């Protein structure tokens, strides 16, 4: 299929496309989604979904964190469509993990090392940030990384870069829920989810979030 157009592909998509909301949001995207389904610190095009834990932050909050002496760093996460793929096998070793392109700069790595050295805590905002930092730390110490990662984090794995996680509530049978269970402990996470359901918390992309200390 070939066609001619006076616009670039990106310009055409911007003019005629819609916001790629997750498949579990079944309504048609509207104008509000164009701004709401985007983090305030997004810079580069390439992701097919927003890292939704970041949606809880606005610029005012970031300024308040900075005023309190809390340092922040950003990584590039080109979230792929496979992030919504459920696990359909009983043996996790047989699950084919999707790859996502990430960039963890040398300055981010140094900030993590400096934070650890002064006794601070490294807090990942979202499972994709945690996955990116841990992918960059697979050698045992975090180092700059740019490229695809298919790191599949499951209970029993060791965490080398992140101490705490801010994350939304995830779908059953998802790799993201398994990551949260690996990080905070299966029983604690199941208790948290049961409480969230009973208390009527909002789930998924536009939902509530929780703060998790690493089990290790």
- 154-185 pLDDT, tens digit each: 889 999 999 999 999 988 888 889 999 999 99
Token pair of 92, please? 């996790």
Count, residues in the chain: 216
pLDDT digits (tens, 9 = 90+) for 59-108: 999 999 999 999 999 999 887 666 667 777 777 777 777 788 999 999 99
Grouping H, G, I as helix, E, B as strand and the rest as coil, residue 46 is: coil
pLDDT at 188 over 80: yes
Cα separation, 126 vs 194, whole angstroms: 21
Of 19-23, 27-31, 143-147, the one with minimum mean pLDDT is: 19-23
Strand partners, 148: 101
Q: What global pTM score does this model have?
A: 0.87
Identify the sign of the CA torsion 198, 85, 29, 42: positive
CA separation for the pair 167, 182 (Å, rounded): 13
76-78/123-125 β-pairing: unpaired
């Amino acid at each position: 299929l070939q066609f001619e157009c006076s616009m670039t592909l990106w310009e055409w998509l911007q003019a005629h496309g819609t916001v790629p909301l997750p498949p579990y949001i079944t309504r048609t995207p509207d104008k509000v989604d164009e701004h709401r389904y985007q983090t305030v610190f997004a810079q580069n095009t390439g992701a097919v979904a927003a890292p939704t834990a970041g949606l809880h932050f606005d610029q005012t909050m970031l300024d308040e964190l900075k005023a309190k002496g809390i340092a922040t760093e950003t990584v590039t996460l080109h979230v792929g469509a496979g992030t919504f793929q459920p696990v359909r096998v009983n043996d996790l070793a047989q699950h084919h993990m999707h790859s996502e392109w990430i960039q963890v700069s040398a300055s981010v790595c140094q900030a993590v090392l400096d934070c650890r050295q002064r006794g601070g805590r490294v807090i990942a905002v979202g499972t994709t940030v945690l996955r990116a930092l841990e992918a960059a730390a697979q050698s045992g110490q975090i180092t700059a990384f740019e490229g695809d990662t298919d790191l599949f984090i499951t209970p029993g794995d060791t965490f080398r870069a992140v101490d705490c996680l801010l994350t939304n509530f995830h779908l059953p049978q998802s790799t993201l829920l398994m990551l949260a269970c690996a990080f905070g402990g299966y029983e604690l996470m199941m208790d948290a989810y049961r409480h969230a359901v009973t208390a009527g918390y909002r789930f998924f992309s536009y939902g509530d979030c929780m703060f998790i200390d690493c089990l290790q």
